[in-house]
Structure formats: C-alpha cells, structure tokens
Amino acid sequence: MTVTNPLTPDVPRDTDLEQLGINVIRGLAMDAPRAANSGHPGTAMALAPLAHVLFTRVMRHDPSEPHWPDRDRFVLSNGHASILLYSMLYLCGYGSTLDDLRAFRQFGSHAPGHPEIHLTTGLEVTTGPLGQGFANGVGMGIAERWLRSHFSPEIVDHHTYVIAGDGCLEEGISHEAASLAGHLALGRLVYIYDNNHITIDGPTELSYSDNVAERFSAYGWGVDDIGEVANDVDAIEAALTRAKADEDRPTLLILRSHIGYPSPHLTDNAKAHGDPFSVEEIRLTKEILGLDVDETFWVPDAVLDLYRRCIPRGRSFRAAWQERFEQWDGDKAVWDAAQRGHGLDGWESKLPSFTPDDGPMATRQAMKACLDATGDVIPGVIPGSADLTGNTGMAMEGGLAQSVEEPGGSLIHYGIREHGMGGVMTGIASHGGMLPIGGTFFVFSDYMRGAVRVAALSEAHVIYSWTHDSIGLGEDGPTHQPIEQLAAMRAMPQLRVIRPADANEMAQAWRIAVNSDGPTALILTRQKVPVLSETVERAGEGVERGGYVLRDPVNGAPDIVLIGTGSEVQICLGAADLLAAGGAMARVVSLPSWDLFARQTETYRNEVLPAGIPRLSVEAASSFGWDRYADAFVAIDHFGASAPGEVNMHEFGFTPEHVAERANELLAGRPAS
C-alpha cells in the first residue's frame, strides 16, 4: 500500500515497507542488549513506531550535516532506551554502523549504555539520569525562541521533540522545568510521554498515581491524551502535527504504550525494562514480527534504503535554509559569535580593570560589573538566577526579563528551581546560539549537582555564578554557609572551578569562562574584599594559569609559602607582613583554580610552589584535598555559625594573626593539626 508523505510529496510511502522497518528496529532493540548481556530492550521496542514517525515523517533533520543550525532537535530523556536512538542514527545515515550496534555498551563503543553527546554523532544532549533530558528540552525551547526573536524567523524556525518516561516525570527536575516552560508559554516544544505503566520495580502503581494530564494542564501546557495508538503511525503523525501547530504553549502528548511489545511473554512485564531477552524469547518475538530468526542485527537493503531517504530530504531542507540565510541581511558576525557561544572578536578590550582606589568590592559585584561592561559584545550571553538576581548580580544593566511578551529578554528568572535551572542551562548551551550564566548561593549548588555533572560530562558551555561562598556570608548561618561544596566541585571532572581573590581576578575569570569551552564555576564572595595592588598587573596571566606568585619577599628567598584562594588571599598578604616583622619571609601564592593550575607544566608548578619550602594553605572551606599542595591548612572542617561575617572569620581563625601563628608553628617543625 502506498500513500503520500506531506514532507516529501514526490516520494510515495510504502506502508508495508514502513512496517518492516519498524519491526527491524524492534529486532535491533532485542539483539543489541542480548549481545551485550546488558541493556533495556522493552521501551525501544514499544516506541519503534514513534521513532519511525519522528525521523521519517515529522522532524526536519539532515544526517549529512548533523549540526545544521535550524534543524529540529530531538531528546531521548529516558536515555536507558538508547538502543532506539542508536538504531535510528544508524538507519538514517548519521555515521553509526552495525558494528557500533554490535558493540553496544562495550568499552570504546559509539553506542554506550546511555547517550553521550561526545561519543555518538547525531545526539543533541547527554541523557541518562532521568529528567535531565526533560529540562534540557526546555532550554532548547528557550534558545529557539530567543534566537528567532533576536535574528529572524527566516533563519530560526524549528521545533524540539522530547520523549520522556514515567521516571523522567517522577524526578523533581521535570516538575521544575515543566513549570518554567508553562510559565514562559514555550511553543515549539513537543513532548511525548511514554505512558507504559512500568518501572524497574514493577508497575508504576507501586509508587506513582499522578494525574499527569491535570498536572501539565495546571502548568499551562497543552495536553493531548492520544491513548492506545503506539502502533498506529498515522495517528501518531496526526498528533505530532497538531502539537506542532500550537505555537502558544508547550504540548504534552500522552501515549499509552506496551513495553516489550510484541513479545509473547514479556509485553507489559517489568523484566522487559532492564533485562535482555533470552535467545528463545527473541526467536519467538521475531517470528511474530516476520523477521529472519536465524540472523542477528538483520537489516535488509530495502529497509536501509527507506531510512537513508532522510539524507536527500534533509539536504533539501538545509539547502533551502542556507539560501534564506544568505539572503538574510542581518549581522552575520553577531550570528556567528552567538552560535559559537563566545564574544565578538576583540571583546576582551571591554573588560573592566580595577585599582585599590576603587575600594573594597565583593567578587559577586565585580561579576556584575563585568557582565554590564561586556554584555553587548557577547551576543548570546543570557544571565539568570534562582530568585536571587540582585544577590548574585545576574542581570545586565537595562536588560529586560524573558517573558511571553518579551521572548528576546536578556534575563531569565528561573524562580526557586535550582535543579531545573541547571538542566535548562545545559539545554540552552547544547542548542547553540546562547551562552547561559546562572546564579545562586554556593551552598545551593547541591540542588543543582545532578545537572552540573551532566553538563561537565557533555562539556556544555555554561557558566555558574555561585555566590555567598563561605562562612563570610554571615548571619544566615550554617544552612547557607558552604563548607564541603568547594572540595566537591573541584572533584568533578571537566568542571572548571575558579575562586577569584578580588575584582581583577574576577574579570580574568570571566574572560576565561567566556572564551573556553565546557562548564565553568565561578565561586564568589558576598562580603567586600579589597582590590589587591598585586593583581593589577599579574592577574591576567596568573588566573589563566590557575595559580601564580602574588608577592615574594623583597629581600631573599622565602622561608614559607602561604597559599590562598578567594577572600583569604588578602589574609595571606596580611600574615606575610606580620611574619616579615618577625623575621620570617613569606611568598604569597594565589591559587584561584586547581584545574587550570594542574594543566600547567611541572616546571611552572614547581616554580610557584618550590620543593623544600613549607606550605600553608588558607581557605574558608573544607581542608579536603589540600594535602596535594600544602603541608598544613587553615581551613574549616565543621559547620559555621550564625553571626556577622567578619565575626565568623575571626572566630574560626581566618585572620592574619592566626595565619601568621600557624605559619610560625610550621616553620618551627610543628605541623598544624
């Protein structure tokens, strides 16, 4: 039987061949986990018709150019069903091979257990922890609308499609992100909820009885419960088409599927979720599907040809866009900079510089000054905060907030949704065209940690402005005073952590964060700190290297090295003066970024921290990890107290006098406890 495809009306549909293609996807969904003895076949089998419709009938994508800017975006939030996505990428011609599928979940494979953006061509985001992809999709919707508003609907005109399961909807991050999406009325977001009633433990009824339709309606989404149509490709296409037409709000399609379909023994069974089918069950299921039961990874040429039609179709979409782009009379330099997530050429010349005469300034205030000074030459930058805009400095002077009325606003009010903010920021960055920076108190980075970890894993270009970075924040007390967070974030691979000592180090940290790829965490003070005379000339190179000599003794070699970060660097300088008065010479090292310092040559690191000279670190945070650089520590390995910040710092030993005392103990051969 043949019918017409509205996206490619000149190519008739062969519905029998389409059904064979869907069945082949189901066969791959069984074969790959069986070969790996690990994986999740059931969801991929159930959603094969949906994936077929999305990739062949609905989405505008070009497998020959996966990063074409105006492509539709697709996110598999329930990333455990990754074999479904890998199968589609192989079949449609994104460069994956059958050998990749055969190596599913194996070391070095391009088909890892959950989708990882840097390993597999054609992915938009890294998904796996449930709910992250849900929030990423919201970020993509924000990015699409912002770019369309700032540039032109002629060159920005696409949709974001997200598949999410029960687990995604149960995780709290989806509540946060869905609420924000509804508030912003993000049209062009089409989410499909795979309502299969199964989790690892068994039926969802064990722990989950939400009325999903009412929940999302209350958020302001359009909801379409399309029911028992998981195997009806025309009904699925019609529902997706209706959803695309709603430009005024995000849409949730509720699809009742049957996990493991059409397995004779495992359909609607929790065992189909996370366990490979037995060889016998695969054979029985392939018989039902009409597949070759004696072959694994069977893909007949006719099926491959069917899906490879996505390539010429995608090229035609991209060519039409390229023609529109070439005719567009907007500023292409601005477009290019936004797409890269960096500043215009030479933007660094607008970075502010500071002198001691400018007076004390909290590094969070210096962050605000940097944002105000450079925002107009970083085309895609968009700050936001979790209800702490003024506290964190996350607003550019004169900027308007994002809203339904202002889709091009240069500020996002994320609300009190730290985890959602983190996931949305990753989606914005992964979409391309924008550089998100999001702020909250450093202690509440704990609420963001899941999203931060995924951003680090996927090397998303996001910037975190985490303020109120120590007991120095004062009266809010131990619930708000970070202790262990700095060590925890430093332990995260691929997260660049910078704790600047003053306004000049802050400006250089901002430069590094904007110019670098991957995520950067800026750890900033609430309290004012002096602008150090030494940073005026030295911070430019020093912060980029992660650590540098801030001050050396005027005469002679140092007897001891004092190593500080953030607000404690000034304390080290004061302690050095006290030591000098007593005849001990101290070198003061500012070490704003362990990550950047570790990347330097061993020669450079040894020059800054020479062997054979005692070292004392000073940081108002946990001492955990400092043994790599210091022989003794002035740190805080317990919770703080509710008191004015300067009182806390004094009571817990962060004073020049106490640091000098500890340094003298170290010089006397009595390492501090």
Q: How many residues does the chain have?
A: 673
For residues 367 and 233, give the distance between their C-alpha atoms in angstroms, rounded to a whole number: 52
Task: Tell me which residue of 223, 130, 245, 209 sits closest to 177, measured CA to CA.
Answer: 130
- Give the number of other Cβ atoms within 10 Å of residue 86's Cβ: 28
Residue 56, helix vs strand vs coil: helix
DSSP character string of 105-132: TSTT-SS-SS--TTTSTT-SS---STTH
Give Cβ neighbours of residue 595 (< 8 Å, ≥ 6 apart). Answer: 490, 495, 496, 497, 546
Q: Residue 228 burial by CB count (10 A; 0-12/13-18/19+): exposed, middle or buried? A: exposed
Q: What tokens does 468 get?
A: 């109120």
Token pair 């609607």 in the structure block, residue? 268
Query: For residue 373, what is the enclosing H or E element?
Result: helix 363-374
- Give the number of other Cβ atoms within 10 Å of residue 602's Cβ: 7
Task: Tell me which residue of 84, 92, 101 sits closest to 297, measured CA to CA.
Answer: 101
105: left (phi over 0), alpha (psi -120 to 50) or beta: left
Give me Rg for the CA atoms of the chain.
28
Active site residues: 418
DSSP character string of 173-195: HHHHHHHHHHHHT-TTEEEEEEE
Give Cβ neighbours of residue 615 (< 8 Å, ≥ 6 apart). Answer: 560, 561, 562, 563, 609, 629, 630, 631, 632
Task: Tell me which residue of 128, 28, 149, 136 sits closest to 79, measured CA to CA.
Answer: 128
For residues 509 and 7, give the distance between their C-alpha atoms in angstroms, rounded to a whole number: 48
**Amino acid identity for residue 485 in this structure:** Q
- Report in angstroms the alpha-carbon separations of 272 from 22, 277, 325: 18, 7, 47
- Report in angstroms the alpha-carbon separations of 89 from 72, 97, 217, 417, 499: 15, 9, 33, 34, 41
Task: Tell me which residue of 412, 434, 374 sits closest to 151, measured CA to CA.
Answer: 434
Task: Tell me which residue of 64, 71, 68 sits closest to 89, measured CA to CA.
Answer: 64
For residues 119 and 113, give the distance between their C-alpha atoms in angstroms, rounded to a whole number: 11
Give the long-range contacts of residues 95-99, CB within 8 A, separation 24 or more. 95/63, 95/121, 95/122, 96/120, 96/121, 96/122, 98/297, 98/299
